[in-house]
Structure 1
Amino acid sequence: MRHVRFPEQREASGAAGPHRPAAAPVRRLGDKARWYLPAAVTADLLGAAVPVGLVFDAAGQARPLHCALGAALAWTGVQALRRRYAGRVLGESRGVLPVLHDWLILIGVLAFVRVVTAEETPRLAALGALLPALLVTVACHKLTYRHLSAARREAQAVSRVLVVGEPAAAEHVIAHLAARTDHPYVAVGLVPVGGGPLAGGMPVAARLDASMPKAPNRDASAVLRAVRRHHADLVLVAPGARFAGERLRRVAWALHDAGLELAVFPGLVEVSVKRLETLSAGGLAVLRVAPPVRRGVQPLLKAVLDRVGAAVGLLLLSPLFLGLVLAIRLGSKGPAFYSQRRVGRDGVPFVMWKFRTMVTDADRLKAGLAGANENDGPMFKMRRDPRVTRVGRLLRRTSLDELPQLVNVLTGSMSLVGPRPPLPEEVAEYDEVELRRLTVRPGMTGLWQISGRSDLSWDETIQLDLQYVDNWSFTSDVDVMGRTLRAVVDGRGAY
């Protein structure tokens, strides 16, 4: 399940708020582990220098040590110029693509140097010598990201945020931030604009009038006092008509003059930053949201990856299929394969294939187990389902029961990555929001599998599916497939 994080929260009397437990003081964003920077620099230096030195020495290059040193300095130089060693960036998840972009810049720089110095090492050997730099840097980023994520679950290495806005909007932002730990923000105070009830328990640092005050600096003074009182690192403004335009501009001036940061929440949720673009129109700051990717090269690449990946998988895994068929048939009576009607893209039904993990009359027995359903939505899930066979438990634990779905991927009714394929009775209970998950093909794996699978609540499952549907890209599919292996080995939520 999701973790919930709260900073120290106390009312004016000093007691903990009614809905938020008091916690240990948070560590500031600047308090990230000190080893992040030396680890990143060392990984970049050694990841470039060692392979280049070894390859160039084996190739008979006259000065392999000089080449190794040059490659290491060039790689760290590119990283430094791209501000990859900044404290704000270290440990944050940036994925593989930014590192690949930096690496391609490195290739361009060294290609220019190669021409100038007339270096004669074979091109493929030189390119292969630089590949470990990319891999080592990505591995170092993954290590620091995991460490930072664990720290943030304990409210460490975070930014203290003062939220300003109309009561309902501000409390919505605070609740959203508190419900997740995959970000650096911890709300420490609230500055409501205008009257209105406050039910969240967040301490009120100040209160602004509903309309523009007669004294032009009154808002700014109140916000600055609240920032100092709560030692905030950032002021986050929630959307609202009462606090915008000239009024917000004056507060921004005061904060920036004091060396403090201001951020504005635009009211969007679960929209990838890749789809956002800032524009200026007549002096107005405009946030453009690009539509989800539905046409072009990326969907074509996904289709090719699906068909080729499924065909190769079926070919390579055929001996394993035979072994699993024998184990299932020997473990219990009935066929080795199980087919079930599911709902695919645009609500079109299809027959999904799996290895049988339950007794043959499992569907008939399901009605009698309805009261034992452990899921809070339309899905049926039981941690200890009595219908599951002994071999079936192992197959579910390792996700091997899903392998026959490669046939569905090959025929085009499913994808390697996508939302979980739902049952018709589940779709019958969907509302308008939940139906949106059917706008793409269902997948063998997805964000739901790498995020906890059956341990997720229904709302969390829908949230992940919609996040995938709205923010899909070909590279995100590749990333999900890479993370699926670790999720399968971990086995969390598989039952």
Structure 2
Amino acid sequence: MDTATLTQSIGDEMTSSQDTDWRNKASRLLAVVDAVVVTWAVTGAYVLRFGIDNGLSLSSKTDAYIWISALLAIVWWLMLGAWTTRHHRVLGSGAEEYKRVAAASLWLFGAIAIFSYAFGIETARGYVGVALPVGLGGLLIARWLVRQHLHLNRQRGHSMNRLLLVGGEGAIAHLASSLTKSSHAGYLPVAAYSPGSNDTQTHEPSSGLPILGNKPDPKLILDAIDECNADAVAVSAGVQLNPQSLRHLGWELASRNVSLIMAPALTDVAGPRIHTQQVAGLPLIHVTTPTLEGGQQVAKRLFDVVMSAVLIVLASPLMLGIALLVRTGSPGPVLFRQDRVGMEGTHFEMLKFRSMVVDAEARLAELQRRNEGSGLLFKIKDDPRITRVGGVLRKYSLDELPQLFNILGGSMSLVGPRPPLPSEVAAYEHDVRRRLLVKPGLTGLWQVSGRSNLSWQDSVRLDLYYVENWSLAGDLVIILRTIRAVFRSTGAY
């Protein structure tokens, strides 16, 4: 569904008082959830440390900890509010909400530790040692559950921020397309304002958004905001407004409680790479380039070695069972060995459990006309070369398990771009070769974003995004998302 259709179908409903108040409702819901979780955490810590019987006896020590528990729960709840963890701008997407929850909790318990040390107060370490991890873990899980509920609402068109896009035509089209694809973030483009554009156009061609004006006048932009009932204004590239006009627009928006969002012409750049520096009143955005060298390279390799060794040990009974099924299921070897291209263009032999008949490579030419993949990818949903056992292995990615030995040997990594064939690399354009700057991975963004359902362009974009924005924390997130993707088996064939 394109932006215009989406806007038309839910526009009337979005203007209702019930939906425009979603921010207050979400904040109240989180306040209740936080109160329940922190109360549960401190009560559980009290019971585990002192026991129910000791608690009922109300000795001087346990009596004091009852009041300490009540005070701790109240202060913890207030800290979460002070760190703006319930603000609508951090709800629904990104890691900022979780970071603020963790920061508020750690600052609180850090302050308790400093206070106890400074005044020589003996604090029950077992009590604190239970309350903090249990409470923090409970808060993060509860926030995740609330986020899933919010995502469901946004899929139905509710709980969205109505957005007026201001900028050049190309920038508006790109921004509208990106926001529409990421509806879980909660931004719904409803109209466009394109200063300097053709005054005969009433709708933006790509997105279908109505164009409410084209004069570089802040007053007319404010009129457009009233016309489309926007909650926020996104200013993108190509906007023909001088700094003074843009500043006055920001003042007017603040007085109307309308958010101002600056959307620079930067694509596929992760947050950790962006740093803002104030110079002469100008917010300069610095974009750093990640380098997988030195300590980072050692950390990633150490993580690969430890995790692959552990997984090999844990999965060895499963791999032995799969090997037996492959061997008895169809004639041929257990393992399929294929030449792939790794980091910096080096070739290596990638291992997989054989999921096709022995002469699968020889039959490839006759199946080319049935290719359902895009670009350089060859994919067929009902590939006749796949064995019965192989179909099950592919559905749950179990055929990839032998690649743990590739990871242990150093030719692959746990997380990275999809390992390409030499024929694919030979046809790469210049930009696509950046995929070879890091080791290919057993899993990656391509694995958790649709696998075989992805187009060639999407596959390349995700791989390049990973190369440009690599981080160890990002690898951990991808591994967790991989578990969910494997069980869903979406795009696996």
* Fold shared, TM-score > 0.5 on shorter chain: yes
For the aligned residues, what is the CA RMSD?
2.5
Q: Is residue 2:77 matched to residue 1:76?
A: yes
Give 1:56 deviation, angstroms. 1.9
Letter of the aligned partner of 2:62 in structure 1? A
| 1:448 partner SS | coil
Which residue pairs with 1:17 in the alignment? none
| 1:364 partner SS | coil
Letter of the aligned partner of 2:22 in structure 1? D
Q: Deviations over 1:151-208 (max 9, x none)?
A: 2223221111111222233233223323332422211111111133642321121221
Which residue pairs with 1:137 in the alignment? 139
Distance in 2 separating the partners of 1:68 and 1:4: 52
Q: Is residue 2:175 matched to residue 1:173?
A: yes
Distance in 1 separating the partners of 2:32 and 2:328: 52
| 1:204 partner SS | coil
Give 1:339 deviation, angstroms. 0.8
Letter of the aligned partner of 2:159 in structure 1? A
| 1:317 partner SS | helix
Structure-to-structure mapping, 1:450-489, within 5 angstroms: 450-489=448-487
Q: Is residue 2:190 matched to residue 1:188?
A: yes
Distance in 1 separating the partners of 2:336 and 2:321: 16
Q: Deviations over 1:120-161 (max 9, x none)?
A: 52x356313421112111111211222222222232211111
Distance in 1 separating the partners of 2:305 and 2:110: 34
| 1:190 partner SS | strand
Give 1:476 deviation, angstroms. 1.1
CA contact (8 A) 1:277 1:288 kept: yes
Quick one: which of 217, 235, 238 aligns to 2:236? Answer: 238
| 1:103 partner SS | helix
Structure-to-structure mapping, 1:70-469, within 5 angstroms: 70-94=71-95, 97-115=99-117, 116=119, 118-121=121-124, 123=125, 126-196=128-198, 198-200=204-206, 201-208=208-215, 219-240=217-238, 242-469=240-467
Report the TM-score, using the length of structure 1 for normalisation.
0.88
Q: What 5-or-longer segments of structure 1 have no aligned partner?
A: 11-20, 210-218
Please, which moves more after superposition, 35-44 or 318-327? 35-44
Distance in 1 separating the partners of 2:403 and 2:39: 43
TM-aligned CA distance change 1:358 to 1:46, over 3 Å: farther
Q: What 5-or-longer segments of structure 2 have no aligned partner?
A: 55-60
Distance in 1 separating the partners of 2:220 and 2:416: 48
Give 1:249 deviation, angstroms. 2.8
Distance in 1 separating the partners of 2:473 and 2:334: 35
TM-aligned CA distance change 1:149 to 1:436, over 3 Å: farther
Q: Deviations over 1:15-74 (max 9, x none)?
A: xxxxxx787643756425647324532343234223311222149662443343243234
TM-aligned CA distance change 1:23 to 1:230, over 3 Å: closer
CA contact (8 A) 2:334 2:354 kept: yes
Which residue pairs with 1:65 in the alignment? 66
Please, which moves more after superposition, 224-233 or 71-80? 71-80
Letter of the aligned partner of 1:430 in structure 2? Y
Q: Deviations over 1:348-368 (max 9, x none)?
A: 221110111111111111111
Give 1:227 deviation, angstroms. 0.5
| 1:240 partner SS | coil
Letter of the aligned partner of 2:154 in structure 1? R
Quick one: which of 30, 49, 64 aligns to 2:42? Answer: 49
Give 1:282 deviation, angstroms. 2.3
Q: Deviations over 1:303-333 (max 9, x none)?
A: 1110011112212222222111111101110
CA contact (8 A) 2:83 2:101 kept: no
TM-aligned CA distance change 1:51 to 1:290, over 3 Å: farther
| 1:55 partner SS | helix
Which residue pairs with 2:58 in the alignment? none
TM-aligned CA distance change 1:240 to 1:362, over 3 Å: same
Which residue pairs with 1:26 in the alignment? 14
Distance in 1 separating the partners of 2:467 and 2:244: 37
CA contact (8 A) 2:162 2:190 kept: yes
Q: Deviations over 1:372-396 (max 9, x none)?
A: 2222221111211111111111111
TM-aligned CA distance change 1:97 to 1:307, over 3 Å: farther
CA contact (8 A) 1:5 1:155 kept: no
Give 1:9 deviation, angstroms. 4.8
Distance in 2 separating the partners of 1:150 and 1:86: 19
Q: Deviations over 1:438-468 (max 9, x none)?
A: 2111111112212221122222222222222
Please, which moves more after superposition, 439-448 or 146-155? 146-155
Tell me which protein shows more helix as a share of its residues. Answer: 2
Distance in 1 separating the partners of 2:13 and 2:369: 43
Letter of the aligned partner of 1:88 in structure 2? R
Distance in 2 separating the partners of 1:29 and 1:439: 47
| 2:362 partner SS | helix
CA contact (8 A) 1:47 1:132 kept: no
| 1:176 partner SS | helix
Distance in 2 separating the partners of 1:452 and 1:422: 17
Distance in 2 separating the partners of 1:262 and 1:481: 35
Q: Deviations over 1:262-299 (max 9, x none)?
A: 22211001211222222222232211112224235443
Distance in 2 separating the partners of 1:29 and 1:302: 45
Distance in 1 separating the partners of 2:428 and 2:121: 66
Distance in 2 separating the partners of 1:326 and 1:265: 55
